[in-house]
Chain A
Amino acid sequence: MTTIDATDAVAKRPVRWHIAVFLAPAVLIYTAVMILPLIETLRLSLFNVQDGQSIFVGFDNFKVLFGDDRWSVSFWNALKNNLVFFVIHMLVQNPIGIALAALLSLPVLRLRGFYRTAIFLPTILSFVIVGFIWKLILSPIWGVAPFLMDLVWLKPFFGPWLGKPGSALITVSLVSVWQNIGIPMMLIYAALLSIPDEVIEAAECDGVTGWAQFFKIKLPLILPTIGIVSILTFVGNFNAFDLVYTMQGALAGPDGSTDILGTFLYRTFFGFQLQVGDRSMGATIATVMFLIILAGVSLYLFVIQRRIRRYQF
């Protein structure tokens, strides 16, 4: 900031201190609490403790994380689960969100405000509340889920889903979908509302209505918003932690089948039960998560966003 003021002074303008005053608090807090710790975490991933001293080890931590069986088995497992978690969100949450938004944005719909408010409600609840609610409902002890399934003759299909390694991850992902569906719904609903009436009227004059109108006219127009929704889902999923921790504990059981990068980072960095916390490996995992998110965001900003055709009204 001093350079800014200096150049201004050279230009024979009074030093505009107020700019610095306006910027300083935000920049200071943001830099001190967010940017510097982030950089420090990246730096720590290149160091490890040997004989009580922190020494530079280059990329050794990453080699251990990717290749040493003590770490790599858990890491690849967590990464794979995280990918499944993300794919389920993309395949279930976003299409249902788009469908709900499309229904909500239909003209002359009664109870629109009620539906909108109600469907968005789970999104504002904390993961802790949502996690426990579903844990109770799905619990074979309480029997609410089997009872409800009996009403639609599906009872034979009920099982203790959260307790089985084969189904636990899918169940947790679907609970997360249930909670987060409000975000794609609202963003896409907003995008659909912003389509000008003339475009829709022109389509109707040409006889394009109903399903065809949605797929041929509206969907191409909301593609940029679907892109935003996808990248938000990506960032949110690869940094998720709370829901798995609440529903399945820090060990992300059964047998690590719901372990994602967030819970893996927590156990590694903070330690759990017999495992002692490891700062260097924690920083290494955080760095890998950072690189994954950065890659996703860059792919979106520099490739996908530029390819999507935008329409100006």
Chain B
Amino acid sequence: MSKARSSFARSGFVHLALGGYTLLALFPIFLVIANSFKTRAGIFSAPLQLPNATTFSWIGYQTVLKQGDFLGYFQNSLIVTIVSIFLVLLFGAMAAFALSEYRFRGNLMMGLYLALGIMIPIRLGTVAILQGMVATGLVNTLTALILVYTAQGLPLAVFILSEFMRNVSDDLKNAGRVDGLSEYTIFYRLVLPLVRPAMATVAVFTMIPIWNDLWFPLILAPSEATKTVTLGAQMFIGQYVTNWNAVLSTLSLAILPVLVLYLIFSRQLIRGITAGAVK
């Protein structure tokens, strides 16, 4: 009897702690989204209430969509993120296949060389990266961002994918060789489909820092035509500091796509962290 009660109290405490922290994690986000649908008076008089008939207003969103080119920024972010992920996955998988499948001199060194970038942040090379981009005329192009993000994403991709490719059965690949398949076909037809779950994990890991990055868009591509959402929101909010409706709406617009993607991919992401990252 007493044991049952103590376990009841214990689970109550656990839920109190976790629930309390969940509130702390979600409340600020909720607060911003709820207030973005209010009039200015509503934002200040009752910040903690949901918008109601008197305080509801689209004014913030109208200002944002009229003033800033947010569709353009979204498009830029999408192009940069998708192309970078595609290149990271393709090139990363190819290199991972070479490292895990073949024995050749320098294999270990090559693996270590590629793994360096997991720990050393690419930001530290910014001075020379900007110089190089100026020299090749790539400043203020999305190509510059794509190149940088591809280089940034490759080390972890190669590392994770080669771990997974080591587990692909040799019999399968050798059967393919006996049947006269080329090495390229073996990679593309036999191995890639088998490591698809790992590819999804790598994609999610690669995506978040690219979408959220402020540093490289600010330095390499700050022009109006190449701004990403993160940089666009940063600059827009900087200009409209005192227009609370516009600021809150901009933040909500920037949160929304990430939130939707997260709700779709959170299982994948969490499974990826719990399976691959802790080795």
CB within 8 Å of B: which residues of A?
3-4, 7-8, 16, 18-19, 21-23, 25-27, 29-30, 32-41, 44, 96, 99-100, 103-104, 106, 109-111, 114-122, 124-129, 132-134, 136-137, 142-144, 147, 178, 186-187, 189-191, 193-194, 225, 228, 231, 235, 239, 241-242, 245-246, 262, 265-266, 269-270, 279, 282-283, 286-287, 289-290, 293-294, 297
The secondary-structure label for the interface of chain A is helix
CA A38 to CA B132, docked complex, whole Å: 12
Closest to B273 in A: A186
Number of B interface residues in the complex (CB < 8 A): 90
Q: Mark B175-204, 1 if CB is under 8 A from A, else 0.
A: 000000011100100000000000000000
Is B53 in the interface zone, CB < 8 Å from A? no
Alpha-carbon distance A12/B117, docked complex (angstroms): 36
5 examples of A-B residue contacts, CB within 8 angstroms: A33-B147, A37-B126, A100-B18, A125-B212, A132-B247
Using Cβ atoms and an 8 Å threshold, which residues of chain A touch B32? 133, 136
* Contact, CB under 8 Å: A44 / B266: no
Known A119-B22, A297-B119; judge A242-B127 contact (CB<8 A): no
Q: Say what secondary structure dominates the interface of chain B.
A: helix
Say yes or no: A136-B248 contact (C-beta < 8 A), given A26-B114, A129-B254, A246-B234: yes
Which residue in A23, A137, A144 is a CB contact (below 8 Å) of B94? A23
> Are A29 and B24 in touch, CB under 8 angstroms?
no
The digit string for B251-279, where 1 denotes a CB below 8 A from any CB of A, is 10011001100110010011001110110
Which A residues are CB-close (under 8 A) to B98?
19, 22-23
Residues of B within 8 A of A (CB): 11, 14-15, 17-19, 21-22, 24-26, 28-29, 31-32, 43-44, 47-48, 87, 90-92, 94-95, 97-99, 102, 104-106, 110, 114, 116-117, 119-129, 131-132, 147-148, 150-152, 154-155, 158, 182-184, 187, 208, 211-215, 219, 230, 233-234, 237, 244, 247-248, 251, 254-255, 258-259, 262-263, 266, 269-270, 273-275, 277-278
Whether the pair B119, A190 counts as a contact (CB closer than 8 A) is: no
Are A34 and B26 in contact, with the CB atoms below 8 A?
no
